[in-house]
A and B are shown apart, each in its own frame.
Chain A
């Protein structure tokens, strides 16, 4: 069984640029959640995708957007990058639908905004 994979591993961007992060869910999982983890903090929920639609959103501005594809993989897009967007971005997939209690996380993408 293939676990959750994310790409790229590391990324350096300049303030104001746009970035796309990618996630492949674990085999058999149809729900993907994205979290932002600042240094020394716990992960913060960004949003979740189920059946290619956004299924809930945390306290993040609209410049954070996402997509889910028919194969359940997902993208996180961040526009107009700010220095505070520097963080580890974690993707998590789960088997159930709207109530995805057991989430399995990928290794994350470390984004640095300079």
Chain B
């Protein structure tokens, strides 16, 4: 069965610091997708990124970057120069099986950025 572990329950950083959110996953599938979502206090889950397991290149989008390492089953998310607006709960997720549309989420990491 698929499993997503986000070991960091809560993280607090001071504004402009860099922060990395960890995600470790378990899957028996040889090909799969991985996702990160952001959930601000309003409750809506905001899609951040989808990564195919074929592609192990790191990805950067503005202040956000993702480090995918298949060998360690990790898909970590780094925010550079954090801002107060980054305060939210961040979820890592993967489909429940090959070709599945059901997402299995981790328990989330609550990030607080202090001004």
Interface residues of A (CB under 8 A from B): 31, 33, 35, 40-45, 48, 55-56, 58, 88, 90, 92, 94, 98-108, 110
Contact = CB atoms under 8 A, between A and B. Distances in A.
Contact of B45 (A90, A98, A100, A110): A90
Interface of B: 4, 33, 37, 42-47, 50, 91, 93, 95-96, 99-108
Contacts of B101: 31, 33, 48, 55-56, 94, 98-101, 103
A24 to B, nearest CB: 14
Contact of A99 (B37, B91, B99): B99
B76 to A, nearest CB: 17
A107 B104 CA distance: 19
B95 A101 contact: yes
B103 A102 contact: no
